[in-house]
Amino acid sequence: MNLILMGAPGAGKGTQAVKISEKFNIPTISTGDTLRRAIADGTEMGLKAKSYMDEGKLVPDAVVIGIIKDYLATDACKNGFILDGFPRSLPQAEALDAMGGNIDAVVSIDVADDVIVERMSGRRVCACGASYHVRHNPPAVADVCDKCGSALYTRADDNAETVKNRLQTYHDLTEPIAEYYNAKGKLIRVDGQGAVEDITARVFAALESIEA
């Protein structure tokens, strides 16, 4: 199964990617995580990406298309994959088609803007990819990852001003690709509000519909 998870920043793509990955035993690639690692490692790609990310803007298409192209060429994703945070623009969606991405479905996790802003302010993440919310999805021990025991932290771009820019970028550049996939009959919309387990149940139900 080759999947795209789409949704505004903070819609819960990362959380659902972990659940789908565990259930279907397919890997996730998150362009955001890859870019944050590149920044931490001080690579050329990280240096290029940082200023865009700090401002809540999209990193240039060529950079993220390169990440996905390299990844799809690896053995890790020969039985399927989940793309979390890619594509985020029409040129990226077209590039994915051109590289033979062969997407089965695009699950759009839909959340209202005011809910997004509230979620981002309480988001705490772990370097292992796990994501929590101080109220809605707290770890068993405050500020410690349930999965790997590392200390949780707040993402640099989860501050109010950057969140506003990221939402605007989403509406302007990313939302139009929903229609691109809808026209191909691949778009599945899921209500992304409410308890995490209810959202996961809706996502799994949606995936069963494409497996059948």
Q: Which residue number is nearest to ligand AMP in terms of Cβ?
A: 32
Tokens of 153: 């932290």
CA R_g for the chain = 16
* Whether the Cβ atoms of residue 145 and residue 128 lie closer than 8 Å to each other: yes
Residue 53 binds to ligand AMP (criterion: CB under 6 A): yes
Residue 11 binds to ligand AMP (criterion: CB under 6 A): no
Asked if 166 is an active-site residue, the reply is yes
Rule CB under 6 A: choose which of 4, 5, 8, 9 binds ligand AMP.
9
Task: Name the catalytic one among 36, 88, 124, 202.
Answer: 88
User: Least separation, in Å, of the C-beta of 208 and ligand AMP?
Assistant: 26
Residue 7 binds to ligand AMP (criterion: CB under 6 A): no
Those residues whose C-beta lies under 8 Å from the C-beta of residue 204, and which sit 6 or more positions away, are: 19, 20, 23
Tell me the number of residues near ligand AMP by CB under 6 A: 18
User: Least separation, in Å, of the C-beta of 112 and ligand AMP?
Assistant: 18
Asked if 119 is an active-site residue, the reply is no
Residue 52 binds to ligand AMP (criterion: CB under 6 A): yes
Residue 31 binds to ligand AMP (criterion: CB under 6 A): yes
Nearer to ligand AMP, 159 or 201 (CB): 159
Task: Name the catalytic one among 36, 119, 124, 155.
Answer: 155
Q: Which of residues 139-168 bind ligand AMP (CB under 6 A)?
A: 157, 166
Residue 116 binds to ligand AMP (criterion: CB under 6 A): no
CA–CA separation, 208 and 186 (whole Å): 14
Those residues whose C-beta lies under 8 Å from the C-beta of residue 206, and which sit 6 or more positions away, are: 105, 107, 188, 190
Q: Which of residues 64-103 bind ligand AMP (CB under 6 A)?
A: 64, 85-88, 92
The interaxial angle of helices 31-41 and 44-55, nearest 10 deg, is 120
The residues assigned a catalytic role are 13, 88, 123, 155, 166
Contact footprint for ligand AMP (CB under 6 A): 9, 31-32, 35, 52-53, 56-59, 64, 85-88, 92, 157, 166
